[in-house]
Amino acid sequence: MADYVPALKAKMGDWDYYVTVMKLGKVSRECRLAEEIHANQHLDELIQREIQDRVQKEMVPYLLNAPQRFYGALVVAVYGGEPVFSHVKVDEHHLIDDKEDRSSYGFGLLRFDGSQIYYALDGQHRLKSIQEALRQNPELGKEEITVIILKHENTKEGLERTRRLFSTLNRRAKPTSSGMNIAIDEDDAVAILSRRLIKENDTLKILVLGNLGSKQISPKKVHDPYIATLPTFYETNEVLLKAYNGGLEIDAKFKQFRPSDEELDNFYQKMSKRILLSKTIVGWVEALRNPRYKSISTLKIKH
């Protein structure tokens, strides 16, 4: 049975591709992982990364529990199905005032004969989490996700070409730095508290280096008078928060879901008192106020 997919046709490099929207239910049913397509796990056919534990521990709970859940587009390869794209002309509209052929806008229908197979090139973890989440809550199948479709030829040359694209999309993708994650995360309580402690405490502002790319403090004066980077400060706060009210379990699930504002305020009050009254912080501040102070590297603080 023929399958019609509304899509935008586009081109980049020597790839023609199509952008569409699919229900999560359709994605779950029809889009596969590479190992499900190729029974032979020969290296020439390994175009799929191993599915990691975080699918079950982080991504599935996110889909099931986060009201603001959102995934970026899946990039899928399709082979078979005899795809044919047909342009759909745009009707007259007062917002469209150019004289060009309106078929050039790329709107259209992508037709398959029903035998097509999709598999994930980029987004295999997202795909697996969608499949697992729908088993627990089928209602999620009504929600939608953007899908980018590329035609794949099931030949040796086609497989090499698709594998190369898979490598480009995954191996060359640069993850955000730990400092950037701490600076923008609105769910991880440790990150939220770390930012607030620096923002609202003048003492910590001059001791914690907010440069997102810095992993350690330089012994030279370039980082004077800072004593800790943002990631180091985050790790310290994680240890402190674990001791809150006799002990908190700070795991991936805790960091994934934002506590209430009241809980965050309680955490903040306890942590700020503990940090600002610590002998180490008091010692650094006294040293910085010393008229003989020259640089952090010349100071020796008793911990």
Q: In whole angstroms, give the CA distance from residue 16 to residue 84.
A: 12
Residue 171 confidence (pLDDT):
72
Residue 133 confidence (pLDDT):
96
> Are 60 and 120 within one domain?
yes
> Are 26 and 145 within one domain?
yes
Instruction: Supply the range of the domain harboring residue 31.
Output: 3-173
Residue 302 confidence (pLDDT):
45
Q: Which two tokens stand for residue 237?
A: 């706060």
In a domain, 286, yes or no: yes
In a domain, 303, yes or no: no
The CB-side HSE value for 232 (13 A sphere, CA atoms) comes to 15
In a domain, 253, yes or no: yes
> Are 93 and 107 within one domain?
yes
The CB-side HSE value for 26 (13 A sphere, CA atoms) comes to 17
The CB-side HSE value for 185 (13 A sphere, CA atoms) comes to 24
Residue 236 confidence (pLDDT):
87
User: What are the residue ranges in the chain where pLDDT is below 50?
Assistant: 37, 39-49, 296-297, 299-303
Residue 74 confidence (pLDDT):
95
Residue where the block lists tokens 């987004």: 123
In a domain, 196, yes or no: yes
Q: In whole angstroms, give the CA distance from residue 230 to residue 46.
A: 39
Residue 301 confidence (pLDDT):
45
Query: Residue ranges of the alpha helices (H) in the chain?
Result: 24-30, 34-37, 54, 60-65, 124-136, 156-171, 178-184, 189-200, 202-205, 230-242, 252-256, 261-276, 279-289
- Specify whether the CB–CB gap between 49 and 34 falls below 8 A: no
107 phi/psi in degrees, rounded to 5: -70, 145
Task: Point out the domain boundary residue: 173, 193, 209.
Answer: 173
> Are 187 and 282 within one domain?
yes
> Are 155 and 246 within one domain?
no
> Are 74 and 185 within one domain?
no
> Are 47 and 168 within one domain?
yes
In a domain, 195, yes or no: yes
> Are 239 and 284 within one domain?
yes
> Are 163 and 283 within one domain?
no
Residue 44 confidence (pLDDT):
38
Which residues fall within 8 angstroms of residue 200, CB to CB, at 6 or more apart? 272
> Are 154 and 184 within one domain?
no
Task: Point out the domain boundary residue: 120, 149, 173.
Answer: 173
Task: Point out the domain boundary residue: 142, 173, 204.
Answer: 173
Q: What's the total number of domains in the chain?
A: 2
In a domain, 246, yes or no: yes
Q: In whole angstroms, give the CA distance from residue 301 to residue 303.
A: 6
- Supply the pTM of this predicted model: 0.71
In a domain, 280, yes or no: yes
Residue 97 confidence (pLDDT):
63
> Are 220 and 168 within one domain?
no
> Are 73 and 98 within one domain?
yes
Per-residue pLDDT reduced to its tens digit, 106-147: 788 999 888 888 888 888 889 999 999 999 999 999 999 999
Q: How many CB atoms lie within 10 A of CB 13?
A: 7
Per-residue pLDDT reduced to its tens digit, 169-210: 877 666 777 888 888 889 999 999 999 998 888 878 877 877
